[in-house]
């Protein structure tokens, strides 16, 4: 399976942005999905996850209440709606897919097998 992230760019603090991740090659159904991010000089960190049925969404504390993860299995697309963006949200954002990771294990990057190439989000103050 191949993942292609898009939608990044540069915005001012307080603005919104939506990222998309197109999954190519296989049906999206059956995959748990997630977003991670990595800022320069820092480790990759979990942002948000959604289970294969879309019934459970979970977030890092730093984005809870501001970001919303969603999925459209018909178009094989994962989304991340980001509102009230802050300069500390600046990072390269990655989408990830796998069968196994769930709420308890999905926050660890090493538990995900498939990754997109990353899309840059820059938030200026």
List phi, psi (to 5°) of 47: -115, -55
Q: What is the pLDDT of residue 20?
A: 98
Question: Interior CA angle at 38 toward 37 and 41, to 5°?
Answer: 165
Residue 124 has pLDDT above 90, yes or no: yes
Query: Maximum distance among all alpha carbons in the chain?
Result: 40
Q: What is the pLDDT of residue 45?
A: 97
* Cα–Cα distance, 112 to 67 (Å, whole number): 21
Residue 101 confidence (pLDDT): 73
CB 38 within 8 A of CB 45: yes
Give per-residue pLDDT as tens, 52-88.
999 999 999 999 999 999 999 999 999 999 999 999 9
The tens digit of pLDDT for each residue in 14-53 reads: 999 999 999 997 788 889 999 999 999 999 999 999 999 9
């Amino acid at each position: 399976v191949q993942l292609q992230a898009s939608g990044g760019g540069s915005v001012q603090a307080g603005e919104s942005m939506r990222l998309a991740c197109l999954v190519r090659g296989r049906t999206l159904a059956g995959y748990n999905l997630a977003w991670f991010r990595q800022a320069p000089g820092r480790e990759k960190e979990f942002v948000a996850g959604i289970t294969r049925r879309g019934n459970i969404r979970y977030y890092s504390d730093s984005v809870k209440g501001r970001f919303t993860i969603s999925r459209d299995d018909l178009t094989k697309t994962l989304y991340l709606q980001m509102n009230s963006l802050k300069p500390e949200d600046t990072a390269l954002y990655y989408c990830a897919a796998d069968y196994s990771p769930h709420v308890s294990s999905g926050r660890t990057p090493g538990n995900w097998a498939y990754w997109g190439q990353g899309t840059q989000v820059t938030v200026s103050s």
